[in-house]
Amino acid sequence: MTVQLVPSSVLDAVERADDTVDSLLEAGRRPEDVLVLTVGEPHPWQQHELSFGEAGYWAQLTEGGDVFYADAATARPLRREVVVLVVNDSGAARVERAVKKAFDHVGALLVVCGEADRVRPLLPAGSRPVPA
């Protein structure tokens, strides 16, 4: 498995994650292979989808036809080849739990969008930073 770090502040982590997802799709990754997990506030797309109800929201995961957005703290068994972890919260314990849990959800590539100084110590040695 490959781990990449996309340096970003808590405030711009969602935007950097969106750029990352766009780049992954442009590079040939299939939408159904990508899972976006947020540490803090839910991603706007997750909020939008949840506005139609929990059942429909979770059905999208089962259908698997698109990028799926969820809370990093979810207890549901989520697994995709690519996980983009959005570190849009500054709570040290919450960030640490989210990074550890992200490894349970990923198959081939974990991309962490967050503050480099906070996140880098939580990642395996040799994780590659992605230029800003």
Between CA 111 and CA 35, with CA 62 as vertex, the angle to 5 degrees is 10
- Does the model's pTM come out above 0.85? yes
Half-sphere exposure for 98 (CA within 13 Å, toward CB): 28
CA-to-CA distance for 75 and 105, rounded, in angstroms? 11
Per-residue confidence in pLDDT tens, the chain, 132 aa? 899 999 999 999 999 999 999 999 999 999 999 999 999 999 999 999 999 999 999 999 989 899 999 999 999 989 999 999 999 999 999 999 999 999 999 999 999 999 999 999 998 877 766 654
Domains of the chain: 2-129 (3.40.50.300)
Torsion sign across C-alpha atoms 100, 105, 108, 109: negative
CA-to-CA distance for 84 and 29, rounded, in angstroms? 13
